[in-house]
């Protein structure tokens, strides 16, 4: 009798297991949200001010810009995964390093990432591909390592990261070890070519063409790869068809061999990671620094640590010589020489739009000189561009060209007069942060991250001056309590005017 009862109990448990397991994801998901909210309550003081419900008071924006912290889980946990994917996909490219860093911080933050759930798996891949598209390969690699170390969903993206970094050995090793049925013909031919198995690659290519397995654009790319027509590279310079990361790598390799240039940021990423031709590496690094793919310090370390004899480009030689002279003057604390070299450096690096990166790299020295009495129109602009405007001790005169930027930096709007409508809109967004009702609703629902993504989208227009959504985007960041980020963007827009 006991045995029968035991068997019956076992059968009941066995048939109940699937139902319990099916409910498990939902229960865990709810528990995860509640635990996060519990942590939020335990770690944050509660502001009883009525207006506090309309904004967010949680993180230090200056930390966010440096990416030393990530937007917390509860910013995203109440949002629908498909809604987040759609918002991320809608964000266009931006030339602003501040905005790009903010977007990266959002993308790598802790969102729902259960790869067994289709909507969350899609959100994971959307975030990962946006990071790769932005050229943020370090963050993308860390993102994969954290969320998909077995590459169950990210094998294609890992391949792209490897080849853009010039690591063909690892890319092709992982392709060989993965399911061959899921490997594209183009990847197979690329790896056969890399491994020197050209005869096998050519036979496979010709067979695929005969069977109409390859589209016309891919045939052109593979002709370049297999050296069947070196002139094929020229039509791709302004191709209307979107080129994959693998296409760009193939064309860039051929372009390097033929002293040509592919005008694509991914081409610069590939060249920068090669470290073979120092001159080309630095030129590519200059492109990447402008959009915050690499830091200003990384670029200026290249200037400092390379021999002049390796360069043919006269502009590059001038920059290297100047950086070395400035470093020497700083080490010897030659005040007048430093100030003269900072002015000259601004002019040299401003020729190809690197003056802001110059100011960021030498921010400590610029602010030291400014605060010791070196106050001119140019030194003021340079000090503001460092981004460390809170360290600016000297006040500007009321007739300063940068009084609007100073007003934002110092939260002092008393001397503002006769501002253009463009500058007035920017100042008003920071000075009078009126909050959108839609954002208030989202924040009250716990969908703070959506407010941030929406604000980034509004600010991502290529030409900020003609962007009608500028004020709304800045106010959205203010409402999400990214006040310092909003202020830095506002100052960036004003100084670029």
Q: What is the mean pLDDT of residues 385-407?
A: 71
Which domain does 11 fall in, by range? 2-43
For residue 2, pLDDT beyond 80: no
CA angle 171, 176, 181 (to 5 degrees): 115
Residues 6+ apart with CB under 8 A from 201: 189, 192, 193, 226
> How many other β-carbons are positioned within 10 Å of the β-carbon of residue 470?
21
30 assigned to some structural domain: yes
Q: What is the mean pLDDT of residues 438-456?
A: 93
Residue 46, classed as helix, strand or coil, is coil
d(CA 486, CA 492): 10
Residues 6+ apart with CB under 8 A from 448: 56, 74, 75, 442, 480
How far is residue 358 from each of residues 57, 94, 348, 392, 489, measured CA to CA in Å?
33, 20, 10, 18, 18
- Which of 222, 246, 278 is the last residue before a domain boundary? 278
Residues 238 and 94 in one domain: yes
Residues 128 and 251 in one domain: yes
d(CA 409, CA 388): 9
Residues 28 and 88 in one domain: no
Residues 6+ apart with CB under 8 A from 445: 78
Residue with the bigger pLDDT between 392 and 123: it is: 123
- Which of 278, 297, 319 is the last residue before a domain boundary? 278
The predicted structure's pLDDT at residue 11: 46
Residues 134 and 201 in one domain: yes
For residue 376, pLDDT beyond 50: yes
Percent of the chain residues past pLDDT 70, beyond the cut: 77
CB 458 within 8 A of CB 473: yes
Q: Which helix (H) or strand (E) holds 286?
A: helix 278-290
Residues 6+ apart with CB under 8 A from 50: none
pLDDT in tens, 157-205: 999 999 999 999 999 987 766 555 557 899 999 999 999 999 999 999 9
d(CA 6, CA 280): 75
Residues 174 and 245 in one domain: yes
- Which of 278, 301, 329 is the last residue before a domain boundary? 278
15 assigned to some structural domain: yes
Q: What is the mean pLDDT of residues 24-36?
A: 39
Considering the chain, what is the average pLDDT of its residues? 81
Residues 23 and 114 in one domain: no
Residue 285, classed as helix, strand or coil, is helix
Q: How confident is the model at residue 434 (pLDDT cuts 50, 70, 90)?
A: confident
Q: What is the pTM of this model?
A: 0.80
For residue 9, pLDDT beyond 50: no
pLDDT in tens, 295-346: 999 999 999 988 777 677 889 999 999 999 999 999 999 999 999 999 999 9
Residues 17 and 100 in one domain: no
Residues 25 and 165 in one domain: no
d(CA 72, CA 78): 12
Residues 116 and 227 in one domain: yes
Residue with the bigger pLDDT between 316 and 31: it is: 316
Residue 331, classed as helix, strand or coil, is helix
How far is residue 350 from each of residues 165, 262, 293, 342, measured CA to CA in Å?
29, 24, 19, 12
121 assigned to some structural domain: yes
379 assigned to some structural domain: no
68 assigned to some structural domain: no
Helices (H), 332-436: 335-350, 355-361, 363-371, 377-385, 403-410, 421-431
The predicted structure's pLDDT at residue 394: 65
206 assigned to some structural domain: yes
pLDDT in tens, 472-481: 999 999 999 8
Residues 263 and 172 in one domain: yes
Residues 158 and 272 in one domain: yes
d(CA 306, CA 308): 7
Q: How many domains does the chain have?
A: 2
Q: How confident is the model at residue 384 (pLDDT cuts 50, 70, 90)?
A: confident
143 assigned to some structural domain: yes
pLDDT in tens, 111-134: 989 999 999 999 999 999 999 999
Residues 90 and 215 in one domain: yes
Helix axes 363-371, 377-385, angle to 10 degrees: 140
Q: What is the mean pLDDT of residues 132-138?
A: 93
435 assigned to some structural domain: no
């Amino acid at each position: 009798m006991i045995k029968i009862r035991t068997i019956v109990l076992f059968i009941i448990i066995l048939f109940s297991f699937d139902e319990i397991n099916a409910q498990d994801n939902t229960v865990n998901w709810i528990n995860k949200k509640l635990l996060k909210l519990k942590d939020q309550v335990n770690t944050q003081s509660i502001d009883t001010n009525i207006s506090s419900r309309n904004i967010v008071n949680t993180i230090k924006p200056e930390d966010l810009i440096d990416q030393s912290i990530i937007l917390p889980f509860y910013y995203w946990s109440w949002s629908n995964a498909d809604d987040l994917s759609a918002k991320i996909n809608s964000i266009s490219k931006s030339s602003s390093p501040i905005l790009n860093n903010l977007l990266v911080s959002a993308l790598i933050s802790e969102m729902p990432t259960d790869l067994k759930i289709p909507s969350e798996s899609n959100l994971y891949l959307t975030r990962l591909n946006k990071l790769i598209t932005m050229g943020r390969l370090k963050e993308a690699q860390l993102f994969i390592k954290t969320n998909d170390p077995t590459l169950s969903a990210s094998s294609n993206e890992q391949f792209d990261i490897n080849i853009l970094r010039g690591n063909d050995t690892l890319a092709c090793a992982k392709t060989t070890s993965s399911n061959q049925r899921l490997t594209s013909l183009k990847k197979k031919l690329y790896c056969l070519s890399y491994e020197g198995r050209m005869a096998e690659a050519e036979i496979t290519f010709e067979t695929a063409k005969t069977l109409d397995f390859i589209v016309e654009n891919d045939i052109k790319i593979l002709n370049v790869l297999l050296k069947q027509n070196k002139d094929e590279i020229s039509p791709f310079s302004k191709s209307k068809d979107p080129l994959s990361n693998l296409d760009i790598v193939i064309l860039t390799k051929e372009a390097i061999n033929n002293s040509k240039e592919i005008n694509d940021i991914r081409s610069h990423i590939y060249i920068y990671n090669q470290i073979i031709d120092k001159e080309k590496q630095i030129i590519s690094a200059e492109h990447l620094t402008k959009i915050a793919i690499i830091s200003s310090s990384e670029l200026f370390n290249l200037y400092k640590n390379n021999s002049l004899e390796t360069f043919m480009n006269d502009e590059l030689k001038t920059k290297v010589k100047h950086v070395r002279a400035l470093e020497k003057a700083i080490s010897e604390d030659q005040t007048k020489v430093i100030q003269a070299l900072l002015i000259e450096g601004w002019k040299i690096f401003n020729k190809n739009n690197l003056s802001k990166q110059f100011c960021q790299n030498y921010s400590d020295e610029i602010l030291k000189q400014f605060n010791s009495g070196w106050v001119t129109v140019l030194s003021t602009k340079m000090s503001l561009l460092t981004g460390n405007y809170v360290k600016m001790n000297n006040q500007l005169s009321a007739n300063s060209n940068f009084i609007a930027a100073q007003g934002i930096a110092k939260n002092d709007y008393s001397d503002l007069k006769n501002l253009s409508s463009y500058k007035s809109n920017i100042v008003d967004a920071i000075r009078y942060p009126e909050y959108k009702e839609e954002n208030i609703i989202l924040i009250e629902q716990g969908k703070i991250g959506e407010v941030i993504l929406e604000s980034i989208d509004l600010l991502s227009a290529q030409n900020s001056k003609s962007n009608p959504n500028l004020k709304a985007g800045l106010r959205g960041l203010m409402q999400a309590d990214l006040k310092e980020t909003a202020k830095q963007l506002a100052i960036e827009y004003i100084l670029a005017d």
